[in-house]
Structure 1
Amino acid sequence: MNAVNGNNYTCECPEGFSGVHCEVAFCEVEPCVHGRCDVDAIPPVCACAPGWSGRACDTERDECEGEAACLHGGRCVPRRRPPLCDCPPEWRGARCEEDVDECAERRVSCGPGRCRNLPGGYTCECPEGYCGDECALPDPCNATGAGAGAHGPCRNGARCEQRCGARVDYECLCLEGWTDKNCTSAAAPVAAGGGSNATHVALGVGGALAALLLAGGALAALAAQARRKRATRGTYSPSGQEYCNPRAEMITHALKPPPEERLI
């Protein structure tokens, strides 16, 4: 017997429900602080307002995290409803997800060139004779460009490539044997084997010095040995004589005449 309701049974309610027959959603008893009770969900939940989370929608959420984060370098300003993204000039939208077409909105000028939109920017396609970010500079590599020589600035068969940005600049791609900005100076000759003559001369001198040092060491050793031999020449050594000439002593004893007989 159930002491509470007098029935002879007790209902064990699933998550989110309560009551004698599990007919009451939890959020009808515990109200959602910043949201509404969704009784149609299984189990029932609190559908929180933007910026809030938790079982009862009582926890403030950082709206600059997760899906709300700003894209393409945008800066999220929290505690807004909805959150606000401060976008760079090339992007816009709630999360800076929309590209700005600078060419269509005439935000830039390409002078005599043509503007082409890019994701997060644009580029100016310049006609012949012009270069630079806005096609406002003369192309230094073009013979018809203002300030260019009859064959451009590069010499001796070099190829010129413009490097204009905010100012006029270029690069000469020199042929083998030439160097400097305009390829007008002869490069140092390269010897067979890949190194320069100076490198090979240095290696040759180093090898010769090493050979001289080795020869000098050998001569010094020979001179020391000769001095030791001269120092011992003419010195009598009995033990040495006995060792070197044992037969000479034996012959001397063998040839010694017997003592003379004396007549009485």
Structure 2
Amino acid sequence: MKSTRTVEGPAVRRLEVRIGSGRLTLGVSEHGVTGTVTGSDPDQVEFFCDDEVAVVSTPRRSRGSYEISLDVPEGIDLQVDSGSADVVSRVGVGAARVRTGSGDVMLDQVGVLDLTTGSGDVTVNAVVGSQARVSSGSGDIEIGSCEAALQLKAASGDIVVGDLRSLLTGSTASGDIDVKRSSGDVGLRTASGDIAVGIGDDLPAWLDLYTLTGDVEVNIDQAEPPSDGDPYVSVHARSASGDITITRG
């Protein structure tokens, strides 16, 4: 039988959560940290909060799952270590470090991102900081918009980036890579999958494309080389067995 415990604390700069299985959900609070812990024995869940950090930790050897729902201040730094829990954040966070064995991760807005998951889909609506890294053993990666230098790696899964405004390096062993619109340089590689890049802002593009057994299609007009100092997009794309398509984004 599950029961619910209420937790609360002052406004903090950092949140650390360690959860075995279940679900972590974060929302926006204007008055410190408030929320609930639901599970078989929520009183066994550690909750500590001072002026700098809030810590929530489920029992290490617990076989049950817990649902942790917290409202936290906008811009808080986040650290999550999860065995097999889903992570959902509807609040904009500063620096985020997330490690999960399995489980989906959905983040609204993040500054600096360092995320690793063994198995699960990753969705990030917006990256607004200086750098971001996402690695997934098995699962899709989707980034809505990104202003940061971005590194994406999926062993098995698709990679989708909506609006890229900085450098991207991305690779997947088995899966497609689709950059809807890019005004930043991209370096992409897939062993088995298609690659598509949309060139944004009517920028000229420098293309270095190769596929072993697929087709290459370039649907942008040929342009004169840019003058020194003028912006352009550099695209390096490699696929062992897949098509490569370049269009206007």
Normalising by structure 2, we get a TM-score of: 0.21
Normalising by structure 1, we get a TM-score of: 0.20
Larger radius of gyration: 1
Higher strand share: 2
Compare relative contact order (CA 8 Å, sep 6+) and give the higher one, 1 or 2.
2
Higher helix share: 1
